[in-house]
Every structure is written in structure tokens, then in C-alpha cells.
Amino acid sequence: MGQGLSCRGKDEHWLFTAVQSGDLETVRSVLERDPDLIRQTTVNDRHSALHIAAANGRIEIVSMLLDDRLVNADSLNRHKQTPLMLAAMHGKISCVQKLIEAGANILVFDSMNGRTCLHYAAFYGHSDCLQTILSAARTSHIAVSWGFSRFVNIRDGKGATPLHLAARQQHPDCVHILLDNGALVCASTGGYSFPGSTPLHLAARGGSIDCIRELLAWGADRLQQDSSGRIPYTVALKHKNEACAALLNPSSPEPLVWPSPLKFISELHQDAKALLEQALMEANREWEKTLLKSIKQSLPSPSHSDSVDDNISQVSEMEVCCICFDQECTIEVQDCGHQMCAQCTLALCCHNKSRPSPPPVCPFCRSKIERLVAVEVKADSQDLNNPKAWKSRMANNCIEESCSFKGLSAVPSFGKGRSHGSIRISVDTECIDKT
């Protein structure tokens, strides 16, 4: 009997070692010799073979175990963590996808901090895993039984949402994804960090300008206090994050805010949305540079390229926006077909955070803007050299008697005399919330 136990223990060790190293043939051989070994777990953490394979990104072994129905996709270790949580923790996107396809439950909480796989992906900054989990939530029973918005803002045992964790750990890509999927930008924590902290408090504490940039662009309140009465500006100063403090100073002008309350914004085509988001971030970088000049601290390299797409630049001399007469037209109002640059479109959509403005109207024909799309760029060599074609296109945007710019009286002004590609959106206007 003693010899039998010894042999089994050796096989168990070989199994876990083979799983960790990704030796599929050894795993098959050991399990064929003793199929019951698949139910064994490690001594300390109670990790199953699936836990070990998922954490190490051994997709072949994960697929074999799940496809052969040898294990439960939602098996729990000592801390009630699922294989999906460990795959999200370590950023093993292929394992995350396979586990979700196999029916792994994304709404399981661990016993350590009461966190789900979404918390794990946000905390460790794995944006691809985060996006995969959110996409699964939209199409699974979670969206029906729990509600997608509720899932995005799910709290852990200490009252932290995934957005809180991403902001605290300085993961701007995850912050952006969560905000884009409906995360509450001004939600307060429970016992996590300092009670009552918002994501902006936590980003200020960590000193992440990129996260602060994303949060402010989505309407984060610089005056919201935590339970100790501190605003994010105070937190940034306490931790000696001077650059962050400059952006969070309540006495400085507000940045431009993404007009998420407007209905048509949530229905934007992805190409048009990307153009508007780029215009928003570029305008806010100009705002940041002005503020940061006072403390003589350079900005970190932007997360997105400031360069214009090559295809667009080919017709930059053709498709001139008839509002600013400087940028190329990249956004089109779908119903009427009038075109504008992304900066001017964004200016039309600016809103007051506490009092959303009515839906915007086209400045050329005064029709209600229901949907925006990206302009399809077609580089035609004949058009490029044809002045008549250029004038014809300009006329489409500037039709006599119907070209009304009254709707722009409350949106940012556009300066003159600067180089092509510069930002014309001023932050000192009525369309931006004043606090």
C-alpha cells in the first residue's frame, strides 16, 4: 500500500510539472495511466491542473482538458479563484477566450477581496482580457439577468469598481475601455484605499497623467471630495505629483469633455468615434501644455499618435472644413451629408456636465444631427489637380442661404494664423462646464 501511494504521489507531481511546462504528451500519458489524477489539486493553494494551465497560458492543455470534459471550467482553488481569474490576472488572452467559450462564469467572486475576473483584468492592466470579458458580458445571460451596466460597475468586497482599480494601478488603456463601456467616472469607493475616493482621487495618488487625462475627458469632477473632505488636487499635492496637481487645480479652466450624454454619441460608428476621440485628446493636450508650462514639466509621450493618417493627408488640400477653413473634413452628418473636421464636430457636441445641452444641429442646414459617420477618403489624382472639382466639393458644405453658423455661437472659437494640424478649440467657452 505504501508503495502505491508513493507511485501516485510521483505521478501527481509529474502531472502538475508537465502542465506548468506545457508538456501535452506527458499530461496525456499520466492521465491515461490514472484518470483520477485530474481531480487532484496542489497541497497549499488547491490549484487544479486547469488553474495551473490557465495561469501559465498553456492553451493546448487548457483546450484538451475542456474539450474532453475532464474538468469543471469554474473549479475553485483555496481562495475561490477560478481558472478564468488566474488567466485574466496573468494576461493569458487565449486562455481567457477559451474558458469563456467553454462556458466559464464571469460572475464568480473570490474569497480574498470579493473580486471577479473583470477586477483582475483591470487591476493587472490586461486591456485585451478586459475587452474580451466585457464583450462576453454583452452577449451572455449576464446582460439579461444582471444588466451590463451593473456588471461594468461591479464592486469588490471593499467597494472598488474595476475603474477604481485600473486608475489606482495606472492603466490608462483599461480606464479608457471601462469608461467607453459605461463605467461611472465619479463612483466612490467603500473601504478600498481612502473611503469615498473616486477614480480621479486614485489616479492623483498614483501620479498617472494618462489616467487623469482620460477621466477628465469623460467628465470626472475635480471638486468631488472623499470621506475626509479631500479633493483630487489635494491628494496629488500630498503625494508630490505636481504635474497632476496642475491639471486638477480647481482654479484652472476645465478641459473639453466627451459628450457621452448625447444619444447619437453612443451610436457612433467606430471610425467616426475614433476621429472625435483623437480630436478631443489633442485639444486637451494643448490645454495641458498651457497649464504645465507654469511648473516647467514636460508632458509624457502621448498614448496615441498625433500624426495624421497618410490617406487623409493626400486630400488635405481638397476637403477643407468650411467652419474653421483649416482642417480636412473627416466627419459627415449621415442624413444631410454635410461634412466637417473632427475638431469642429466635437465643438458642436460640447456640453455642460450638470446640464446637458439639446441634441446638436448641423450648422449648414440646421437639421438635427442623428448620426455621424467617418468620411470615406478617395484619393483621385484627377480631382487633386482639378480646381473645379475642389470648388464643387467646397460648395457642398457652404450652400448659399442655407449656410448658418448661428449654432456655433456657444461652442469653442477657432483661431487663425497657426500651422495646419494645430488645435483651434479653446477651453475658455460656455460649452465647457465651469466649476
Written as one string, the DSSP assignment of 307-343 is SPPHHHHTTTTTSB-TTTSSSBP-EEETTT--EE-HH
Which three three-digit cell numbers place residue 407? 449654432
pLDDT of res. 355: 53
In the prediction, which pLDDT does 48 show? 95
263-299+314-408 in CATH: which number? 3.30.40.10
Grid cell in block for residue 413: 472659437
432: its cell numbers: 465647457
Helices 127-139, 93-101: inter-axial angle, 10-degree rounding: 10
CB under 8 Å to 141, separation ≥6 — which residues? none
For the four alpha carbons of 213, 217, 220 and 223, in that order, the dihedral sign comes to: positive
Distance CA 242, CA 221 (A): 19
CATH topology of domain 144-252: 1.25.40
Angle between helices 59-67 and 24-33 (to 10 degrees): 30
Q: Give the DSSP H/E element, type plus range, for residue 372.
A: strand 372-374
Q: What is the pLDDT along the chain (435 residues), one digit of tens a residue?
A: 334 434 455 667 789 999 999 999 999 999 999 999 999 999 999 999 999 999 999 999 999 999 988 899 999 999 999 999 999 999 999 999 999 999 999 999 999 999 999 999 999 999 999 999 999 999 988 888 889 999 999 999 999 999 999 999 999 999 999 999 999 999 999 888 889 999 999 999 999 999 999 999 888 999 999 999 999 999 999 999 988 998 999 988 888 788 776 767 777 788 888 888 888 888 878 777 877 776 654 444 444 433 333 333 333 444 688 777 777 888 888 888 888 888 788 777 765 554 556 678 888 888 888 788 888 765 444 444 454 444 444 444 444 334 333 333 333 433 333 333 332 323 333 333 333
Compute, in degrees rounded to 10, the torsion defined by CA atoms 414, 420, 422, 426.
Answer: 0
* Cβ pair 81, 110 in contact under 8 A: yes
- Read out DSSP for 77-92? -TT---HHHHHHHTT-
Q: Are strands 331-333 and 372-374 parallel, antiparallel or unpaired?
A: antiparallel
What grid cell was written down for 213? 487625462
CA distance 433 to 60: 53
Residue 35, classed as helix, strand or coil, is helix
Beta-sheet strand order (sheet of 339-340):
339-340, 331-333, 372-374
CA distances, 211 to each of 163, 186, 218, 362 (Å)? 10, 14, 11, 33
Picking from 30, 26, 27, 36, the residue whose alpha carbon sits closest to that of residue 11 is 30
The gap from C-alpha 160 to its chain's centroid, in whole angstroms, comes to: 17
CA of 389: how far to CAs of 127, 377, 396, in Å? 45, 15, 11
The pLDDT of residue 71 is: 92
* pLDDT given for residue 357 in this prediction: 61
Return the SS3 of 182.
Answer: coil
Q: What's the pLDDT score for residue 297?
A: 45
Q: Tell me, what's the pLDDT at 390?
A: 42
Task: Please state the separation of Cα 187 from the chain's center in Å.
Answer: 16
pLDDT the model gives residue 263 = 67
Residues 6+ apart with CB under 8 A from 158: 113, 114, 189, 190, 191, 192
Cell numbers representing residue 120 in the block: 483582475
CATH 1.25.40.20 domain extents, the chain:
15-105, 144-252
Model confidence pTM above 0.85? no
Find out if CATH 2.30.30.830 is the number for domain 15-105.
no
